[in-house]
Amino acid sequence: MKAGIVGGGMLGLYLAHRLRKAGWDVTVLEEAPSTGGLASAWQIGPYTWDKYYHVISLSDTVLRSFLKEMNLAEQIVWKETRTGFYTDGRLYSMSNTKEFLAFPPLNLADKLRLGGTIFLGSLIKSPRRLEKMHVADWLTRWSGERTFEKIWLPLLKAKLGDAWQRTSAAFIWATIRRMYAARRSGEKKEMFGYVRGGYATILRTVTSFLSDNGTVIRTGFAVDRIKNKANKTEITGKNGETLEFDRVILTVPPPVILRIFPDVDPVEKDKMTAIPYMGVICVSLLLKKSLSPFYVTNVTEEGIPVTGIIEMTALIDPEVFGGHALIYLPKYLEPDNPLFDRDDEEIIRLFTGALKKVHPSLSDEEIAAVKVARSRYVFALPVLHYSRIKPSFDTGTEGIYMVNSAHITNSTLNVNETLNLANEFLAKMFSL
């Protein structure tokens, strides 16, 4: 039996691995010049690292098991990290209980309610009830009006822009769940890891393993259309080449699926059309100096157009980058936001200007390299009653399936959850 997988990100590669182990002949079709998708690597200055920021959490059991299978478990480096908070024109450390209790913008009662909200969120096992509540209603109920206005609302605006107004409480639950997953049991200290060499190492190892075991990986193959014919499925590329498979799995986002396979079942098509997506613009900077000891700096200041500041070299040894600091400046946006159409130079000016507001001592001469990455479809916005529009794995056409980030409802989007989704899909649709 021949299986074709459209999309060569970590989801597609992991599906290929598991199907090949089960005896399928597998072909992966990826439009980009290389595999990886959102986990792909690129060169910034003379160094190769992840295009978007990624870390491994202690609770990432599926990912860690996969890395062990790829003989990469010994290449994981773990480090305790710190978190910063920029508000009222000042940068604070929020890395432990003592610093939390000393946080000036909130009084003691506000802090207790904020801490209680986070603890409550960590205890909730399922988001089904939370998806019926607006995120503002749930946070105000437990944290209070002042804490919501001072902390939660700026964070929601930074993360989601105006889309926060359509978001359910399931979003903040998933965020809290991921945050708690990074804490070492008992110590409540944040711990993250990475594979030496980043996702370039992971992708190189995985693609080599797959190829050596008979999986065909076609990069630079842009799918034009998909048709079902006589119990077979034909995939035709924009180059005119047509490939035939017994089963096809689409791992690309819903808007892409609807373009290349318009024959989706009408009920599923309506669901997919109704799903609001968020994209990201992410500026990577290689700096001649470190900016702070914080891996993540949350920004709640109005007028700073970034979701946060990620100093990757607070986790990774700066010597990996010749003593430089690697900074990510992400901004999550709706796909039709005009910022996606601005040129790189304009985005760089806007984002570096935001960075200089938080770190005014930074000069242009200290920026060794800068690059812009953008993707319009990253994760599905968890709107109210999202389960009503969550698509099925089944497209309604025999032998053609879909699985992508729109199916993730129990977590924020991360590689571990993506692999977990692949396992769920294979168990349900392939009995694997």
Of the candidates 180, 208, 223, which is a domain's last residue? 180
Report pLDDT for 301: 87
Q: Which domain holds residue 227?
A: 2-37+199-276+382-429
pLDDT digits (tens, 9 = 90+) for 293-324: 999 999 988 889 999 999 999 999 999 999 99
Q: Residue 410's pLDDT band (boundaries 50, 70, 90)?
A: confident
Q: What is the DSSP string of 112-175?
A: HHHHHHHHHHHH---STTGGGSBHHHHHHHHH-HHHIIIIIHHHHHHHHGGGGGGBBTHHHHHH
Same domain, residue pair 254 and 400: yes
Report pLDDT for 303: 83
Residue 336 lies in a domain: no
**Mean pLDDT value of segment 87-111:** 92
The DSSP element (H or E) to which 111 belongs, if any, is helix 108-123
In DSSP terms, which residues pair with 78 in a beta bridge? 193
- Please state, for a pLDDT cut of 70, what percent of the chain lies above it: 98
Residue 377 lies in a domain: no
Residue in 50, 37, 135 with CA at minimum distance from that of residue 377: 37
Q: Residue 132's pLDDT band (boundaries 50, 70, 90)?
A: very high
Same domain, residue pair 256 and 388: yes
Same domain, residue pair 392 and 259: yes
Same domain, residue pair 114 and 262: no
Same domain, residue pair 203 and 148: no
**Mean pLDDT value of segment 30-50:** 98
Kindly tell me if the per-residue pLDDT of 11 is higher than 60: yes
Report pLDDT for 69: 98
Residue 166 lies in a domain: yes
Instruction: Classify each residue of 307-338 as buried b or exposed e, where b means 16 or more C-beta atoms within 10 Å of its C-beta.
Output: bbbbbbbbbbebebbeebbbbbbbbbbbeebe
Indicate the pTM of the whole model: 0.95
Kindly tell me if the per-residue pLDDT of 230 is higher than 90: no
Of the candidates 180, 212, 240, which is a domain's last residue? 180
pLDDT digits (tens, 9 = 90+) for 44-58: 999 999 999 999 999
Q: What is the biggest distance separating any 2 CA atoms in the chain, rounded to whole angstroms?
A: 68
Report pLDDT for 242: 98
Kindly tell me if the per-residue pLDDT of 334 is higher than 70: yes
Q: Residue 183's pLDDT band (boundaries 50, 70, 90)?
A: low
The DSSP element (H or E) to which 330 belongs, if any, is strand 325-333
Residue 157 lies in a domain: yes
Same domain, residue pair 261 and 140: no
Looking at per-residue confidence, does 244 or 94 come out higher? 244
Report pLDDT for 325: 99
**Residue 218 sits in a domain of what CATH number?**
3.50.50.60
pLDDT digits (tens, 9 = 90+) for 372-395: 999 999 999 999 999 999 999 999
Q: What total of structural domains would you count in the chain?
A: 2
Residue 82 lies in a domain: no
Same domain, residue pair 140 and 17: no
CB atoms within 10 A of CB 76: 16
CB atoms within 10 A of CB 397: 17
- Please state, for a pLDDT cut of 90, what percent of the chain lies above it: 90
Same domain, residue pair 248 and 102: no
Contact 92, 296 (CB under 8 A): no
Looking at per-residue confidence, does 328 or 95 come out higher? 328
Kindly tell me if the per-residue pLDDT of 96 is higher than 90: no
Same domain, residue pair 106 and 227: no
**Amino acid present at 418:** T
Residue 42 lies in a domain: no
**Mean pLDDT value of segment 240-265:** 97
Kindly tell me if the per-residue pLDDT of 182 is higher than 70: no
Same domain, residue pair 217 and 166: no
**Mean pLDDT value of segment 155-161:** 92
Kindly tell me if the per-residue pLDDT of 186 is higher than 60: no
CB atoms within 10 A of CB 216: 15
Same domain, residue pair 386 and 263: yes
Same domain, residue pair 9 and 130: no
Residue 30 lies in a domain: yes
Task: For 416, list phi and psi in degrees, rounded to 5.
Answer: -60, -45
Q: Residue 179's pLDDT band (boundaries 50, 70, 90)?
A: confident
Q: Residue 177's pLDDT band (boundaries 50, 70, 90)?
A: confident
Residue 354 lies in a domain: no
Q: Residue 184's pLDDT band (boundaries 50, 70, 90)?
A: low
Of the candidates 180, 215, 238, which is a domain's last residue? 180
